[in-house]
Amino acid sequence: MTRYTARPIDAAALKELRTTDDAGMPCAPYDATGDDAGSPLRCCLRPIREGERIALVSYAPLRRWAASAGARPGAYDEQGPVFIHADDCGGPTDGDPDRYPFDRPGALRTVRRYDGRGRITGGRLLELPAEPTTAFDAAFDEAFGDPDVALVHVRAVEYGCLHFEVRRPPAP
């Protein structure tokens, strides 16, 4: 069982992104091809299946978190490409509670830490081993061991795009 919650893009943000993305561009849905299959969907945290109606949109995850948290990330506010379903998909439904999304052994991920102001406070490179859940849990334990860390972004090294977000768990 995973010790932390991988967060998809929230429903309100998805509704906006399906009209206009965070770069101000209109959403341009299309039917996924074999080239898209297997790429990560950030709305439901699973791979794309050929034939699904999807869109590639620009998403600014830190900006959206900062707006709800009253933070001001300044220059740390960035946006990047993410795939989403073109229509409401209901969010994650077929995930495995014993695994984190997009946890292919051998994949390279960055675990980037942000404080409550929305500033980067560090991070680490993570090559996913044969048992990626344990490695993710250890990386999140390390990140949240710093009391200033409010959230982390897990990103693909190859493209730099966000895979998912993990927020500091509530105190027991």
| Phi-psi group of 135: left, alpha or beta (phi > 0 → left; psi -120 to 50 → alpha; rest → beta) | alpha
Range of the domain at 41: 11-85
pLDDT digits (tens, 9 = 90+) for 47-72: 999 999 999 999 999 999 999 999 99
Report angle CA 163, 96, 93 to the nearest 5 degrees.
80
**pLDDT tens, position by position, 81-114:** 999 999 999 899 777 788 999 999 999 999 999 9
DSSP H or E stretch at residue 160: none
Q: Is residue 40 part of a domain?
A: yes
How many domains does the chain contain in total?
Answer: 2
- Regarding whether 78 and 28 lie in a shared domain, the answer is yes
pTM of the model as a whole: 0.93
- For the chain, give the percent of residues with pLDDT over 90: 88
Q: Give CA–CA dist 88/94, Å, rounded.
A: 15
Q: In this structure, are residues 43 and 55 in contact, taking their beta carbons and an 8 Å threshold?
A: no
Q: What is the model's pLDDT at position 125?
A: 97
pLDDT for residue 96: 79
Could you tell me if residue 90 is inside a domain?
no
